[in-house]
Amino acid sequence: MAKIDFGGTLETVVTRKEFSIAKARKVLKNETIAIVGYGVQGPAQALNLRDNGFKVIIGQAREFQRDWDRAVQDGWVPGKTLFDIPEAVKRGTIIQMLVSDAAQRVIWPVVKKHLKPGDALYFSHGFSIVYKDQTGVIPPRNVDVIMVAPKGSGLNVRRNFLSGAGINSSYAVEQDYTGRAEQRCLAVGIGIGSGYLFPTTFAHEVTSDLTGERGILMGALAGVMEAQYDVLRKNGHSPSEAFNETVEELTQSLIRLVDERGMDWMYANCSATAQRGALDWKPRFKKAVMPVFKELYARVKSGKECARVLSACGARNYQKLLQAELNEIGNSEMWQAGKAVRALRPKQAAKALSKSTKGVGGRQSN
C-alpha cells in the first residue's frame, strides 16, 4: 500500500503495482465469482474479470429477458456460466450483488437462503447494508461482507478497462468472517480493472455517492445547464449558440483541461476575460448552492433519500414513469440541439466512442 499526499492529507491507496493482477489471481484461484444481475455494473465487472482470467458465472432472473439475452450475446452459456439467481449463489463463493438497490431488497431472501459459510457477499454500493432497517438486507455472521465501488458507471468501467486506463474505486470491509476479507476484496477490485483503490466505509461510501449523484455529478450539473441554456434562449441566442456555450465547450474542451492538470491550470489557459469572470463568479455560485448541498447531505444521512429510492424505484409502473421523465429531458429543445451538435462532430470521434461502448449494457432493469 502506498501513502499519497492528497492536498496536505496523507492517504493510503492500493495500486496495481502493490497488488498485481498475478497476486489477485493467486488470492482468488479457488474462488467462483457469481455476478448477480446483468444490467449496469454487472456486464462491465463480469467481462473485465473474465478477461483477466478469473472464474466467473452470472446469476440473472430469467423474467428480465433483455438482460438474459445480453448475457448470452456476451458469451455466457446457459447451464455452464449463466444461471438463475439461486443456482448462481449456490455455485459461487464470492457473490456480487449488482442488481439495483431497490431490487436487492426483493431478491435478498433468495440470496440469503443459498449463502454458504465462508462465502463473501460483495457490493458496489453501501446502500443495502447502511440502510438495512429499510432494506432488510442483514447478512448472516458466517460470511465476509465486502465492497468495491468503482467511481463511474458500468459503461466507463468497461471502456476504461479496454483502454488500459482503469477506473478508480473505493473499497471497504464490513464483516471479516474468514480472516481473508480484505485480500478477497482487493483482489476483486484489481480484477475488475481498478486504476487504484482507496479505503472507505460502507457508510461513508453511500453518503458521498448519493450526495455526488444528486449533486455535482448529475443533478446539479443538469440543473445548472438547463438554467444557463434557458437564460440564453430567452435573451435571443440560437439553440446552437446556447448549447455550445453551455455544454459543448465544457465537455469537449474545458473539462478535459481540468482532467489533465486541475481547475487552476484550466483557468490559467483560458482568456484573461474568461479567467477574471470565472474567479469573480465562483464564490457567488458557491454561496448560492451551499444551502442546497447541506440539505442534500442531511437527507442522505438521515435515510430520507433511501426511502425515496425504495418507494419510487420499487413501484410496479416505475419503468414507465422513468421513461416519461427521461423522454422529457431527451425531447427538450436543449438536448435535441445537442443531438444536432453531436452529429456535426468529426466522424472519427464518433467511431471511437461507438467502438468503446460496444457490448456494454444500459440501465439496470431488475
Q: In the block, which residue shows the cell 429531458?
A: 329
Map residue 33 onto helix, strand or coil: strand
Distance CA 336, CA 279 (A): 32
Distance CA 45, CA 34 (A): 11
Q: Which of 120, 111, 112, 117 is nearest to 93 (CA)?
A: 120
Q: Phi first, then psi: what are they for 212, rounded to 5°?
A: -65, -45
Q: Which of 102, 123, 51 is nearest to 363 (CA)?
A: 102
Q: In the block, which residue shows the cell 481473508?
A: 180
Distance CA 185, CA 194 (A): 12
Map residue 179 onto helix, strand or coil: coil
Neighbours of 302 (CB within 10 A): 10
- The residues assigned a catalytic role are 125
Q: Which residues are CB-contacts of 189 (< 8 A; sequence separation ≥ 6)?
A: 14, 148, 169, 171, 197
Distance CA 128, CA 111 (A): 13
Q: Buried (b) or exposed (e) across 152-170, using 16+ Cβ within 10 A?
A: bebbbbbbbbbeeebbbbb
Beta strand 9-15 with 194-199 is: antiparallel
